[in-house]
Amino acid sequence: MGEPALQLVSSVRSFQRKDLLPLEPDSVWSIEQGIVRTLTWDEEGRTIGLGFWGQGDVLGLPLSPISPYQAECVTPVKVVKLSLESRHLQEGLIRRARKSEELLTIVHQPSVVMRLLQLLEWLTTHFGQPVPGGRSLDVLLTHQELAETISTTRVTVTRLLSQLEQEGKIERSQRNLTLLAPNS
Protein backbone atom coordinates (compact mmCIF):
# COMPACT_ATOMS: atom_id res chain seq x y z
CA MET A 1 0.00 0.00 0.00
CA GLY A 2 1.28 3.44 -0.87
CA GLU A 3 1.38 6.43 1.42
CA PRO A 4 -1.81 8.52 1.53
CA ALA A 5 -1.47 11.61 -0.64
CA LEU A 6 -2.15 13.90 2.31
CA GLN A 7 -1.26 13.24 5.93
CA LEU A 8 -3.02 15.91 7.95
CA VAL A 9 -2.03 16.88 11.46
CA SER A 10 -5.05 19.16 11.91
CA SER A 11 -8.36 19.96 10.28
CA VAL A 12 -8.90 22.91 7.96
CA ARG A 13 -8.36 26.26 9.67
CA SER A 14 -9.64 29.57 8.33
CA PHE A 15 -8.03 32.99 8.59
CA GLN A 16 -9.11 36.44 7.39
CA ARG A 17 -7.29 39.03 5.27
CA LYS A 18 -4.36 40.58 7.20
CA ASP A 19 -4.31 37.75 9.80
CA LEU A 20 -0.91 36.27 10.53
CA LEU A 21 -0.66 32.50 10.23
CA PRO A 22 0.70 30.99 13.45
CA LEU A 23 4.16 29.65 12.65
CA GLU A 24 5.91 27.07 14.80
CA PRO A 25 9.27 25.33 14.41
CA ASP A 26 7.58 22.00 13.60
CA SER A 27 4.52 23.24 11.68
CA VAL A 28 4.05 23.24 7.93
CA TRP A 29 0.87 24.68 6.43
CA SER A 30 -0.64 23.67 3.11
CA ILE A 31 -2.80 26.36 1.53
CA GLU A 32 -6.16 24.98 0.46
CA GLN A 33 -7.69 28.32 -0.56
CA GLY A 34 -6.59 31.95 -0.69
CA ILE A 35 -3.31 33.81 -0.94
CA VAL A 36 -0.61 34.31 1.70
CA ARG A 37 2.46 36.50 1.48
CA THR A 38 5.62 35.79 3.42
CA LEU A 39 7.80 38.61 4.67
CA THR A 40 10.67 39.60 6.87
CA TRP A 41 12.28 42.92 7.77
CA ASP A 42 15.78 44.33 7.96
CA GLU A 43 17.67 45.99 10.82
CA GLU A 44 16.02 49.35 10.07
CA GLY A 45 12.56 47.80 10.18
CA ARG A 46 11.94 47.91 6.42
CA THR A 47 9.62 45.13 5.30
CA ILE A 48 10.95 42.72 2.68
CA GLY A 49 8.36 40.72 0.73
CA LEU A 50 9.54 37.14 0.24
CA GLY A 51 6.74 35.76 -1.90
CA PHE A 52 3.09 35.08 -2.55
CA TRP A 53 1.67 31.60 -2.07
CA GLY A 54 -1.65 30.05 -3.06
CA GLN A 55 -3.56 26.81 -3.35
CA GLY A 56 -1.25 23.79 -3.18
CA ASP A 57 1.71 25.77 -1.82
CA VAL A 58 3.31 24.98 1.53
CA LEU A 59 4.96 27.30 4.03
CA GLY A 60 6.26 27.30 7.56
CA LEU A 61 9.32 27.89 9.69
CA PRO A 62 10.93 24.52 8.81
CA LEU A 63 11.00 25.63 5.16
CA SER A 64 12.76 28.97 5.62
CA PRO A 65 16.09 29.97 7.13
CA ILE A 66 14.90 33.59 7.30
CA SER A 67 14.42 35.20 10.71
CA PRO A 68 12.25 37.06 11.45
CA TYR A 69 9.66 35.39 9.23
CA GLN A 70 5.91 36.05 8.99
CA ALA A 71 3.06 34.75 6.86
CA GLU A 72 0.24 37.26 6.31
CA CYS A 73 -3.09 36.45 4.66
CA VAL A 74 -3.66 38.59 1.56
CA THR A 75 -7.16 37.16 1.12
CA PRO A 76 -9.33 34.96 3.34
CA VAL A 77 -7.35 31.71 3.63
CA LYS A 78 -7.99 28.07 4.45
CA VAL A 79 -4.98 25.98 5.48
CA VAL A 80 -4.22 22.55 6.90
CA LYS A 81 -1.21 21.48 8.90
CA LEU A 82 0.71 18.64 7.25
CA SER A 83 2.85 15.84 8.52
CA LEU A 84 6.49 16.46 7.63
CA GLU A 85 6.49 13.02 5.96
CA SER A 86 3.54 13.72 3.66
CA ARG A 87 4.01 13.23 -0.09
CA HIS A 88 1.90 16.38 -0.47
CA LEU A 89 4.67 18.27 1.34
CA GLN A 90 7.24 17.02 -1.16
CA GLU A 91 5.09 18.17 -4.08
CA GLY A 92 4.56 21.52 -2.35
CA LEU A 93 8.30 21.96 -1.87
CA ILE A 94 8.90 21.54 -5.58
CA ARG A 95 6.24 24.16 -6.36
CA ARG A 96 7.77 26.46 -3.73
CA ALA A 97 11.28 26.14 -5.20
CA ARG A 98 10.02 26.96 -8.69
CA LYS A 99 8.03 29.99 -7.52
CA SER A 100 10.97 31.22 -5.44
CA GLU A 101 13.29 31.11 -8.43
CA GLU A 102 10.71 32.90 -10.59
CA LEU A 103 10.45 35.64 -7.98
CA LEU A 104 14.25 35.90 -7.72
CA THR A 105 14.51 36.59 -11.45
CA ILE A 106 11.89 39.33 -11.07
CA VAL A 107 13.53 41.14 -8.15
CA HIS A 108 16.91 41.07 -9.90
CA GLN A 109 15.72 43.00 -12.95
CA PRO A 110 17.78 46.21 -13.14
CA SER A 111 14.79 48.37 -14.10
CA VAL A 112 12.14 49.03 -11.42
CA VAL A 113 9.41 49.33 -14.05
CA MET A 114 10.39 45.91 -15.44
CA ARG A 115 10.35 44.45 -11.91
CA LEU A 116 6.84 45.79 -11.37
CA LEU A 117 5.56 44.68 -14.78
CA GLN A 118 7.05 41.21 -14.39
CA LEU A 119 5.62 40.92 -10.85
CA LEU A 120 2.17 41.84 -12.20
CA GLU A 121 2.60 39.23 -14.97
CA TRP A 122 3.63 36.64 -12.36
CA LEU A 123 0.72 37.48 -10.05
CA THR A 124 -1.86 37.38 -12.84
CA THR A 125 -0.43 34.07 -14.09
CA HIS A 126 -0.52 32.42 -10.66
CA PHE A 127 -3.58 34.07 -9.09
CA GLY A 128 -5.53 35.72 -11.91
CA GLN A 129 -7.97 34.58 -14.53
CA PRO A 130 -8.20 35.17 -18.26
CA VAL A 131 -10.50 37.97 -19.43
CA PRO A 132 -11.02 39.43 -22.89
CA GLY A 133 -7.85 41.31 -23.73
CA GLY A 134 -5.63 40.01 -20.91
CA ARG A 135 -5.56 38.54 -17.42
CA SER A 136 -7.37 39.96 -14.40
CA LEU A 137 -6.20 39.89 -10.79
CA ASP A 138 -9.07 40.21 -8.32
CA VAL A 139 -6.83 40.40 -5.24
CA LEU A 140 -6.49 43.55 -3.19
CA LEU A 141 -2.74 44.20 -3.03
CA THR A 142 -1.58 47.54 -1.71
CA HIS A 143 1.04 49.62 -3.47
CA GLN A 144 3.14 49.12 -0.32
CA GLU A 145 2.93 45.31 -0.60
CA LEU A 146 3.98 45.47 -4.25
CA ALA A 147 6.84 47.83 -3.36
CA GLU A 148 8.09 45.55 -0.57
CA THR A 149 8.17 42.63 -2.99
CA ILE A 150 10.26 44.40 -5.64
CA SER A 151 12.47 46.46 -3.30
CA THR A 152 11.25 49.93 -4.07
CA THR A 153 9.03 52.58 -2.49
CA ARG A 154 5.27 52.85 -2.39
CA VAL A 155 5.50 56.24 -4.15
CA THR A 156 7.47 54.67 -7.01
CA VAL A 157 4.93 51.85 -7.41
CA THR A 158 2.04 54.36 -7.45
CA ARG A 159 3.81 56.44 -10.12
CA LEU A 160 4.71 53.38 -12.22
CA LEU A 161 1.19 51.91 -12.04
CA SER A 162 -0.16 55.23 -13.38
CA GLN A 163 2.49 55.17 -16.11
CA LEU A 164 1.63 51.57 -17.08
CA GLU A 165 -2.05 52.50 -17.18
CA GLN A 166 -1.35 55.51 -19.42
CA GLU A 167 0.74 53.28 -21.71
CA GLY A 168 -2.20 50.87 -22.04
CA LYS A 169 -0.40 47.96 -20.36
CA ILE A 170 -2.80 47.68 -17.42
CA GLU A 171 -6.32 48.70 -16.47
CA ARG A 172 -7.32 49.29 -12.87
CA SER A 173 -10.60 49.47 -11.04
CA GLN A 174 -11.52 49.50 -7.35
CA ARG A 175 -11.26 45.71 -6.90
CA ASN A 176 -8.97 44.44 -9.64
CA LEU A 177 -6.10 45.00 -11.98
CA THR A 178 -6.06 43.72 -15.55
CA LEU A 179 -2.77 43.12 -17.29
CA LEU A 180 -3.53 43.77 -20.94
CA ALA A 181 -2.19 41.49 -23.63
CA PRO A 182 0.12 43.24 -26.10
CA ASN A 183 -1.79 44.76 -29.04
CA SER A 184 -5.17 44.48 -27.29
Cα separation, 59 vs 122, whole angstroms: 19
CATH topology of domain 13-95: Jelly Rolls (2.60.120)
CATH 1.10.10.10 residue spans of the chain: 109-180
Query: Quick check: bond before 68 cis, omega within 30?
Result: yes
**This prediction's pTM:** 0.84
Convert the chain into a string of H (helix), E (strand) and C (coil).
CCCCCCCECCCCEEECCCCECCCCCCCCEEEEECCEEEEEECCCCCEEEEEEECCCCEECHHHCCCCCCEEEECCCEEEEEECCCCHHHHHHHHHHHHHHHHHHHHHCCCCHHHHHHHHHHHHHHHHCEEECCEEEECCCCCHHHHHHHHCCCHHHHHHHHHHHHHCCCEEECCCCEEEECCCC
> What is the torsional sign of CA 140, 143, 146, 148?
negative
What is the domain class of 109-180 according to CATH?
mainly alpha
CATH 2.60.120.10 residue spans of the chain: 13-95
| pLDDT value at 7 more than 70 | no
- Give residue-wise pLDDT tens across range 22-31: 998 887 999 9
| pLDDT value at 2 more than 50 | no
- Give residue-wise pLDDT tens across range 116-138: 999 999 999 999 999 999 999 98
